[in-house]
């Protein structure tokens, strides 16, 4: 019968299953597979997630609109600045990206590459910090993240890090009362909230995939 044939087919496929264990990144205890972003990147995701119908209908172009409008509204004049500390190093900027895999994401079929050296099974994270949000910097940054022949980490306002097992991100901007301003965080394209600090880590070989 068809059911028996289908079952035998599945059993035959099972003989070829090759389990693979991959790492998972963590941010404040929340796991992620591909990437985590704090700052400008996460504010784009927050705006997109607030309008799921437009997200589904317009896709990458809605992300583009959210990025441009969010940049002018939130980051051009008075952005929340964050500091990332890891392995005795410190970098300040308006966005911190952590990658567990490469590429960071896709714009349509085109890969978007930001941090160097990210792999799903090397037990390490890669990171990049965008130091400032200036209108004149955006064209050259966009050209680098969308072009495989250029490296985003070589941009003069992007600082790259590799082989990380832990890091800390905290707000260095203050509100009118002297309290730390909150910054948004996204994991794997999902907005998870506003924070004043975040602990980043990695869990090696935490997830088993069957390919």
Tens-digit pLDDT profile for residues 89-107: 999 999 999 999 998 887 7
Strand 183-187 versus strand 35-39 pairing type: antiparallel
* CA torsion through residues 81, 173, 43, 73, sign: negative
Task: Name the band, by pLDDT with cuts 50, 70 and 90, for residue 68.
Answer: low
**Token representation of residue 68:** 């441009």
- Spell out the residues 6+ positions from residue 50 whose beta carbon is closer than 8 angstroms to its own: none
**Residue 84: closest CA among 5, 199, 207, 195:** 199
Q: Would you say the pTM of this structure is higher than 0.85?
A: no
Query: Tens digit of pLDDT for each residue in 190-205?
Result: 999 999 999 999 999 9
The yes-or-no verdict on residue 61 having pLDDT over 70 is no
Q: How far apart are CA 64 and CA 62, in angstroms?
A: 5
């Amino acid at each position: 019968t068809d059911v028996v044939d289908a079952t035998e087919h599945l059993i035959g496929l099972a003989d070829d299953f090759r389990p693979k264990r991959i790492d998972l990144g963590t941010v404040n205890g929340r796991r992620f597979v591909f990437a985590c972003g704090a700052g400008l990147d996460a504010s784009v995701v927050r705006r997109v997630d607030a309008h799921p119908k437009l997200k589904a209908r317009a896709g990458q172009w809605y992300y583009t609109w959210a990025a441009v409008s969010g940049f002018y509204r939130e980051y051009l004049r008075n952005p929340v600045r964050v500091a990332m500390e890891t392995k005795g190093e410190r970098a300040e900027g308006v966005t911190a990206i952590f990658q567990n895999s490469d590429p960071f994401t896709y714009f349509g079929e085109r890969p978007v590459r930001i941090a160097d050296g990210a792999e799903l099974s090397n037990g390490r994270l890669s990171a990049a910090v965008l130091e400032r949000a200036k209108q004149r910097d955006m064209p050259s940054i966009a050209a680098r993240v969308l072009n495989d022949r250029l490296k985003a980490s070589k941009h003069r306002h992007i600082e790259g890090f590799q082989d990380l097992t832990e890091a800390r991100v905290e707000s260095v901007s203050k509100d009118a009362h002297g309290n730390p301003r909150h910054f948004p965080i996204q994991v794997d394209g999902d907005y998870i909230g506003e924070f004043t600090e975040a602990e980043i880590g990695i869990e090696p070989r935490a997830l088993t995939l069957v390919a």
